[in-house]
Amino acid sequence: MWDYSDKVKEHFFNPKNAGAVVDANATGEVGSISCGDALRLTLKVEEETEVILEAGFQTFGCGSAIASSSVLTEIIKGMTLDEALKVTNQDIADHLEGLPPEKMHCSVMGREALQAAIANYRGEEWADDHAEGALVCKCFAIDAVMIEEMVWANKLRTVQDVTNFTKAGGGCAACHEDIEAILEKVLAEKGEKFDPEAAPVGKPVVAEVKLPLTNLQRIKKIEQVLESLRPSLMADGGDVELVEVIGNTAYVNMTGACSGCQMAAMTIAGIQQRLMEVMGEFIKVVPASEMKKLVNIEVA
């Protein structure tokens, strides 16, 4: 279990400005559901002053992604676009009184969504600051320029730091050697030496000793997570319904536009990841239609 601050919990359980802004004139979208996190940021900007009057978010990701998106909308409301562009991922983390090191990539995603929204308002084509870099991490499509930027901006020292801030290296680990080469290069430019044994940036994560969830507790938590996801699904004309929980398997029905959608399997995978993030235990999410197979096996 991650050691979340009270601010993170507050913005997760009671997110601010969730949903799309009505009459928004700026939209920024970053991330990918297939990679586990996606964020759409919408803004209503006053044309004469370029002041951000309203900000809203729709996110598909973990609790830290929700909290980072929520607090970002609160930070930037009332700012001019130029002021908002100065907001860094560290500012987002600081307003949340810190994020677990493993979740710093959520604050980076918030910053990039803001940059994308402002570019959209100004009629510019935004493809992130690192669009021309050589792809380093194929699992999460992270390139060399983004990694270098994060190492410089956040004083990263280890491969684990890079994974925490960008997700690069968090999949198959085949890119770890390339990440080390980037760290060695950037640190040398700063007059420092790369130490593969260095301690990661940020406070250590404190493991909480908790009793296993009862099935009733598990059902309540699952319902709570599904409720947090519902606005994003309903915005696309779909929804999700919890049918049954047996052990560590949750059976769900995808309804509306989500029923029979080609992306349904990917959506279910994203729901499963979110549940594991929040509940701190392995849980499998499968379509309710799979229950028929279970019944047939038991009868046989």
pLDDT in tens, 74-88: 999 999 999 999 998
pLDDT in tens, 103-150: 888 888 898 899 999 999 999 877 654 445 566 776 666 778 888 888
List the catalytic residue out of 62, 106, 175, 258: 106
Q: Is 53 exposed, middle or buried, given 0-12, 13-18 or 19+ CB atoms closer than 10 A?
A: middle
pLDDT in tens, 161-172: 888 888 788 776
Buried b / exposed e along 115-130 (16+ C-beta atoms within 10 A): bbbbbbbeeeebebeb
Residues 182-203: what's their mean pLDDT?
A: 82
Written as one string, the DSSP assignment of 198-244 is: PPPSSPPPPPP--PPPPHHHHHHHHHHHHHHHHHHHHHTTEEEEEEE
Look up 35 and say whether it is catalytic.
yes
Flag the least confident range among 37-46, 57-66, 79-88, 229-238.
Answer: 229-238
